[in-house]
């Protein structure tokens, strides 16, 4: 424990400032100002190095948080990144994007605000990249075994890095034109600039991982041919099927799934030309759905110059602080203010959508909504409360129902669960021999930290399958959830 009295001397959380709103919505750069090293050291020094650090269990990766807090406090950045990399392949992603269930279970959180664990994490890895401490770790020898990883999101990348380092020859197949999954084309730059992804991909390439972008397995190459070519296959294709909103007027021009909108925006920010881009400039925008995807649409619409942005959620507004029925160390459902929410727009809870309304040109002109009524456990529009909200662009961000299944079912005979995810055993094997699954494709829509943890664990299972034993770590099992945290 670095500073035995740290938590007594510093009782508040301190985080880097967010850039002024009028400035940051003029560009796509990350919203946070660079961190101050003295503040970080103070925060790391608040860690009590508890006998039983619940944050380890709160983090699906089992990050060794008290150890790197201590090393950070001592100014031993190089050792800190070694401890952090021991459990997390990509702290630059989680340190920016994770909702930090570790902080909900921080023991200090019982009677004080939790240690700013996520901020310490991102500072450790940013310092490490800046100092050249993130070096390729190629395997000492090759096993002669080959593995195909399909999907290049955080689950696929984590599995690929682990398997490459274990000596297997790994190729990552991605149908998009660039590698990265939702880190590339879902999450906007104002949450994570793509240079962080590029730095990590460079390291992976130098370690020997091969990337094959622009190849869709199931279409360009069948799943069965892929299986025949490789000793093992990892399915890390994500949960890409969006939940639809089948109300009258759904097919009007101007009503889109959130991912149609975000992908195009991310491509343009990356320098691509997109013909007829779905764009918010000068429009009244409605975002339906209150999660990460919805927040990313709100931030993107403001940067594109929307006239107004209205965010609708069907459920009740969550409480501002931890409710009694979700005590420490559970991850509570509380009212969340992401950076995008600060930037403007209106958030409406208990809003039930009824119908999209058209203008004469067949374009959406408004959305009819009503208050939500809870009737026999279901949420329905309350009669007599209907009103219209003007809309030129509507983005449906209501989550994802699971992975795409047709090609996997037909070409590999893959079985799916009742919830629509790829069926798997406790060691990540699908019903097809030698085919494993990791991340959202097996877990359902989840988080980056779970995807990385599953990628690591699935890599251990593949290594065991190929070699009869493994030294790779397996931080989670398919049915695990962190303390009180449902994986959605």
Q: Which residues bind ligand SF4 (CB under 6 A)?
A: 58-59, 61, 63, 65, 94, 98, 100-102, 117-118, 121, 449
The entry of ligand FAD, ligand SF4, none that residue 155 binds, CB within 5 to 8 Å by partner kind: ligand FAD
Among ligand FAD, ligand SF4, none, the one that 115 touches (CB under a kind-dependent 5 to 8 A) is none
Q: How far is the CB of 38 from ligand FAD (least distance, A)?
A: 28
Of these partners, ligand SF4, ligand FAD, none, which one is at the site of residue 128 (CB under 5 to 8 Å by kind)? none
Binding site for ligand FAD (CB under 6 A): 97-98, 150-156, 173-176, 181-182, 186-187, 191, 216-218, 236-238, 240, 262, 292-293, 296, 439-441, 446-449, 451
Distance CA 44, CA 76 (A): 12
Instruction: Estimate the crossing angle of helix 65-74 against helix 37-44, to 10 degrees.
Output: 130
CB of 139 to ligand SF4, least distance (A): 25
Shortest distance (Å) from residue 71 CB to ligand SF4: 14
Integer Cα distance of 472 and 50 in angstroms: 27
Q: Which is nearer to ligand SF4, 117 or 437 (CB)?
A: 117
Q: 127 is in the binding site of which of ligand FAD, ligand SF4, none (Cβ under 5 to 8 A by kind)?
A: none
Smaller CB separation from ligand SF4, 98 or 170: 98
Residue with smaller CB distance to ligand FAD, 167 or 294: 294
Min dist CB 321 to ligand SF4, Å, is 20
Backbone angle region of 410, left / alpha / beta, with phi > 0 → left and psi within -120 to 50 → alpha: alpha
Pick the closest to residue 445 from 397, 399, 478 (CA basis).
Answer: 399
118 binds, among ligand FAD, ligand SF4, none (CB under 5 to 8 A by kind): ligand SF4
CA 267-150-261 angle, 5° bins: 25
Sequence-distant (≥ 6) Cβ neighbours of residue 22 within 8 angstroms: none
Closer residue to ligand FAD, CB minimum distance, 66 or 186: 186
151 contact, one of ligand SF4, ligand FAD, none, CB 5-8 Å limit per kind: ligand FAD
**Category of 314 on φ-ψ map: left (φ > 0), alpha (ψ -120 to 50) or beta:** alpha
Handedness of CA 66, 70, 71, 72 (dihedral sign): positive
Tell me how far CA of residue 199 lies from CA of 150, 181, 205, 213, in angstroms: 21, 16, 10, 17
Q: How far is the CB of 136 from ligand SF4 (least distance, A)?
A: 23
Question: 332 has which bridge partners?
Answer: none
Give the nearest distance from C-beta 257 to ligand SF4 in angstroms.
27
Of 437, 430, 436, the closest CA to residue 466 belongs to: 436
Residue 107 vs 120, nearer CB to ligand FAD: 120
User: Among residues 170 and 449, whose Cβ is nearest to ligand SF4?
Assistant: 449
Beta carbons within 10 angstroms of residue 334's beta carbon: 14
Binding partner of residue 25 among ligand SF4, ligand FAD, none, CB cut-off 5 to 8 Å per kind? none
Binder of residue 65, out of ligand SF4, ligand FAD, none (CB less than 5 to 8 A by kind): ligand SF4
In the complex, minimum distance from the CB of residue 63 to ligand SF4, in angstroms, rounded to a whole number: 4
Least distance from ligand FAD to the Cβ atom of residue 218, Å = 5
Which of 197/350 has CB closer to ligand FAD? 197
């Amino acid at each position: 424990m670095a500073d035995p009295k740290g938590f007594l001397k510093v009782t508040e959380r301190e985080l880097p400032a967010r850039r002024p709103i009028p400035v940051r919505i003029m560009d796509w750069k990350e919203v946070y100002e660079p961190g101050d090293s003295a503040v970080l050291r103070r925060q790391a020094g608040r860690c009590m190095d508890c006998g039983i650090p619940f944050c380890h269990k709160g983090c699906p990766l089992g990050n060794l948080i008290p150890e790197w807090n201590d090393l950070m406090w001592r100014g031993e950045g190089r050792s800190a990144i070694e401890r952090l990399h021991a459990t997390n392949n990509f702290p630059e992603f989680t340190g920016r994007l994770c909702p930090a269930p570790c902080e909900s279970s921080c023991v200090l959180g019982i009677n004080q605000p939790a240690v700013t664990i996520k901020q310490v994490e991102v500072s450790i890895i940013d310092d490490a990249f800046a100092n050249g401490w993130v070096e390729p770790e190629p395997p000492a020898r090759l096993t002669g075994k080959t593995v195909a990883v399909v999907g290049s999101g955080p689950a696929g990348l984590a599995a690929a890095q682990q398997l490459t380092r274990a000596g297997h020859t790994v190729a990552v197949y991605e149908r998009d034109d660039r590698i990265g999954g939702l880190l590339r084309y879902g999450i906007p730059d104002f949450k994570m600039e793509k240079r962080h992804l590029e730095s990590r991909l460079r390291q992976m390439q130098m370690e020997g991982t091969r990337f094959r972008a622009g190849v869709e397995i199931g279409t360009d190459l069948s799943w069965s041919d892929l299986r025949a070519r490789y000793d093992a296959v990892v399915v890390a294709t994500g949960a890409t099927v969006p939940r639809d909103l089948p109300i009258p007027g759904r097919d009007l021009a101007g009503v889109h799934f959130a991912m149609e909108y975000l992908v195009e925006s991310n491509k343009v920010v990356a320098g691509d030309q997109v013909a007829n881009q779905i764009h918010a400039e000068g429009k009244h925008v409605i975002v339906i759905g209150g999660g990460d995807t919805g927040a990313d649409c709100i931030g993107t619409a403001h940067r594109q110059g929307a006239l107004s942005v209205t965010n609708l959620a069907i459920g009740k507004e969550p409480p501002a602080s931890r409710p009694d029925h979700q005590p420490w160390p559970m991850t509570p459902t509380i009212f969340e203010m992401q950076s995008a929410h600060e930037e403007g727009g209106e958030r409406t809870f208990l809003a039930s959508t009824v119908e999209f309304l058209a203008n004469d040109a067949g374009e959406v002109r408004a959305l009819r909504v009503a208050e939500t009524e809870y009737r026999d456990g279901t949420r329905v529009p309350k009669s007599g409360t209907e009103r219209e909200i003007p809309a030129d662009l509507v983005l449906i961000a209501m989550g994802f129902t699971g992975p795409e299944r047709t090609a996997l079912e037909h070409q590999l005979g893959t079985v799916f669960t009742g919830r629509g995810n790829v069926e798997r055993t406790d060691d990540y094997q699908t019903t097809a021999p030698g085919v494993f699954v990791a991340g959202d494709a097996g877990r359902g829509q989840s988080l980056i930290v779970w995807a990385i943890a599953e990628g690591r664990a699935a890599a251990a299972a593949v290594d065991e399958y190929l070699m009869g034993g493994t030294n790779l770590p397996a931080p989670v099992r398919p049915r695990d959830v962190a303390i009180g945290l449902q994986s959605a």
